[in-house]
């Protein structure tokens, strides 16, 4: 399968996302100003500071030509994963519910967190070991997730910070959510930084492996 990673001016986790995706499949970089998805099976909107995050995190990046393609890809059921700034971009674009607000501490937070996986059926978490928390790092200043009560079903919450681990004051300990149809997923933690035991954990690989397994099943079907 082939992943496409959207690179904006100001992206900084695009290469890590590319290398992580390459551990389970092929991966190519997609330039924000282009509008050719190059036939990818899944899109990753990576972390960083797209367009400098001027105004609000993700607010300007969502108007990039490539994001229009990504939105159409998502409407057609394509898998889209947004990590950190990518999550902020997808929320601003209306592809995911809710918004990311400044951390309750008003401080940059950078540390390993434990995450509880809430669904074993999602295309993004199906390869996660059942009942075992994932250890994945967060690094952000604007990661406090907020969604109105009625705007988000419980089934859309795929990841929660384990009890006592919430690093930013997110509503209901939410770390990652998907859209109603389940094919767009955003999370603040960085699975692409947790793919090798050398750097502390390889739990993040399960997210990429889940996507690969889902696409493989779809091809067979």
Partner 1 sequence: MRARVLVRPKAGILDPQGQAVERALPALGFGGVANVRVGRMIELDVDDPDRLPEMCERLLSNPLVEEYEIVESVGAEAPVGAEAMGAEVAQEARP
User: What amino acid positions are annotated as catalytic residues?
Assistant: 84, 190, 192
Instruction: Retrieve residue 3's tokens.
Output: 């992943």
CB of 144 to partner 1, least distance (A): 8
Would you say 103 or 125 has its CB closer to partner 1?
103
In angstroms, the CA 45 to CA 89 distance is 8
Listed residue (221, 219, 204) closest to 24, CA to CA: 204
DSSP state of 51: G
Q: Find the binder of partner 1 among 33, 104, 153, 216 (CB under 8 A).
A: 104
Does position 149 interact with partner 1 (CB under 8 A)? The reply is: no
Q: Find the binder of partner 1 among 19, 28, 71, 99 (CB under 8 A).
A: 99
CB of 96 to partner 1, least distance (A): 11
Instruction: Retrieve residue 32's tokens.
Output: 């924000």
Does position 172 interact with partner 1 (CB under 8 A)? The reply is: no
Does position 105 interact with partner 1 (CB under 8 A)? The reply is: yes
Does position 169 interact with partner 1 (CB under 8 A)? The reply is: yes
Does position 102 interact with partner 1 (CB under 8 A)? The reply is: yes
Instruction: Retrieve residue 209's tokens.
Output: 């492996």
Site string for partner 1, 36-55 (x = CB under 8 A): -------------------x
Does position 92 interact with partner 1 (CB under 8 A)? The reply is: yes
Would you say 151 or 200 has its CB closer to partner 1?
151
CB of 162 to partner 1, least distance (A): 22
Does position 146 interact with partner 1 (CB under 8 A)? The reply is: yes
Greatest alpha-carbon span in the chain: 48
The DSSP annotation for 1-43 comes to -EEEEEE-TTB-SHHHHHHHHHTTSEEEEEETT----TT-SEE
Pick the stretch among 72-80, 99-107, 131-139, 186-194 that binds partner 1 (CB under 8 A): 99-107
22: three-class secondary structure by DSSP: helix
Burial level of 28, CB count in 10 A (0-12/13-18/19+)? middle
Q: Order of strands, edge to edge, in the sheet holding 184-187? A: 26-31, 2-7, 42-45, 79-83, 184-187, 174-178, 157-161, 109-117, 134-140
In angstroms, the CA 13 to CA 45 distance is 9
Does position 28 interact with partner 1 (CB under 8 A)? The reply is: no
Chain residues that interact with partner 1, rule: CB under 8 A: 55-56, 59-60, 92, 98-99, 101-106, 144, 146, 148, 169
């Amino acid at each position: 399968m082939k992943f496409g990673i959207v690179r904006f001016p100001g992206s900084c986790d695009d290469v890590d996302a590319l290398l992580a995706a390459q551990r389970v499949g092929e991966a190519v970089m997609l330039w924000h100003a282009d509008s050719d998805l190059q036939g990818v099976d899944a899109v990753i909107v990576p972390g960083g500071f797209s367009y400098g995050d001027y105004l609000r995190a993700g607010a300007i990046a969502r108007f990039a030509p490539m994001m229009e393609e990504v939105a159409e890809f998502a409407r057609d059921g394509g898998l889209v994963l947004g990590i950190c700034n990518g999550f902020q971009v997808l929320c601003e674009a209306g592809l995911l519910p809710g918004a990311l607000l400044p951390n309750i501490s008003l401080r940059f937070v950078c540390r390993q967190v434990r995450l509880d996986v809430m669904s074993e059926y999602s295309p993004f978490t199906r390869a996660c070991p059942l009942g075992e928390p994932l250890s994945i790092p967060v690094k952000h200043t604007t990661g406090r997730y907020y969604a109105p009560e009625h705007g988000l079903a419980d089934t859309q919450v795929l990841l929660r910070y384990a009890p006592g681990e919430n690093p930013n004051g997110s509503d209901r300990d939410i770390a990652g959510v998907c859209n109603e149809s389940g094919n767009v997923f955003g999370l603040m933690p960085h699975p692409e930084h947790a793919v090798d035991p050398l750097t502390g954990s390889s739990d993040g690989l399960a997210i990429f492996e889940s996507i690969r397994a889902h696409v493989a099943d779809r091809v067979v079907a």
